[in-house]
């Protein structure tokens, strides 16, 4: 998101985020990365996930004339915020960028239409982990997911699947379910060198036979750095004029 904001020419930015680990963590990382790129966060406002009106939060986040407001949330509350911003005419002067949690075809319907009959959020843009970036296990994962839930995997579904798989493999590798043992074993099952494997059952069998493995996940290449982070692939998304969501260009994350 910081890279998109910078490349879009925004300098003074405000963030409006859920007051929970997702929102607060997003705001902290965004501020750090955006300031590295020469930008400034002039307002950082949190909002209650259980709230039903957000007029005061919209007033606070739009103060001091930011170039853009970064909204981090989910459609139920995020749509109320966007509708309030429209009614207060905040959108007349300030652009908005949306987090991946807002990416749904229902967003335009929830926010509503202008007096001219156009969707309020038409052409609004955001960032999301790129669901087109998949690993060798994705097809099997997606088929199993659709069979179980009757729909395509949602954002982060394949990441969650891989996280559970890696923990299971690390427990097997360590021979222990202690937290520190799992932590220390994760690079040994997810990073090179080792035999590349994507099936969890096969991976467990290889570990039991003493074979080094390099788990290849449904979400793509998984390699942990020295502090335990995994770099993923992101892209832009946009609400179209007819209210649907389309994926856009990839964003290189360094």
Write down the pLDDT at residue 254: 61
Write down the pLDDT at residue 50: 94
In sequence order, the β-bridge partners of residue 13 are 41, 68
Write down the pLDDT at residue 76: 96
Write down the pLDDT at residue 225: 82
N residues, the chain: 254
Pick among 3.10.20.740, 3.40.50.2300, 2.40.50.110, 3.30.565.10: CATH of 2-129+232-251: 3.40.50.2300
Give pTM, 2 decimals.
0.76
In the chain, where the domains are located: 2-129+232-251, 138-215
Residue numbers of the chain with a pLDDT score lower than 50: none
Write down the pLDDT at residue 29: 94
Buried b (16+ CB within 10 A) or exposed e, 136-154: ebbeebbeebeeeeeeebe
């Amino acid at each position: 998101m910081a890279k998109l904001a910078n490349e879009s020419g925004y300098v003074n930015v405000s963030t409006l985020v859920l007051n929970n680990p997702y929102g607060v963590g997003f705001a902290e990382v965004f501020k750090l990365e955006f300031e590295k790129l020469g930008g400034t966060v002039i307002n950082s406002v949190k909002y209650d996930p259980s709230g039903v009106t957000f007029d005061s939060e919209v007033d606070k986040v739009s103060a001091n004339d930011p170039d853009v407001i970064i909204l981090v949330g989910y459609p139920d509350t995020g749509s109320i915020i966007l509708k309030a911003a429209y009614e207060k005419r905040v959108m007349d002067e300030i652009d908005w960028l949306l987090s991946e949690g807002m990416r749904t075809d229902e967003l335009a319907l929830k926010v509503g239409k202008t007096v001219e009959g156009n969707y309020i959020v038409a052409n609004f843009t955001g960032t999301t982990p790129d669901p087109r970036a998949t690993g060798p296990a994705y097809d099997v994962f997606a088929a199993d997911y659709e069979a179980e839930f009757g729909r395509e995997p949602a954002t982060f579904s394949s990441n969650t699947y891989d996280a559970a798989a890696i923990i299971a493999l690390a427990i097997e590798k360590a021979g222990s379910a202690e937290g520190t043992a799992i932590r220390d074993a994760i690079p040994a099952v997810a990073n090179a060198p080792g035999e590349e494997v994507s099936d969890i059952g096969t991976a467990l069998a290889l570990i039991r036979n003493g074979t080094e493995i390099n788990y290849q996940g449904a979400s793509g290449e998984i390699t942990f750095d020295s502090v335990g982070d995994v770099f993923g692939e992101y892209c832009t998304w946009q609400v179209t004029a007819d209210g649907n969501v389309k994926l856009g260009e990839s964003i290189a994350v360094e």
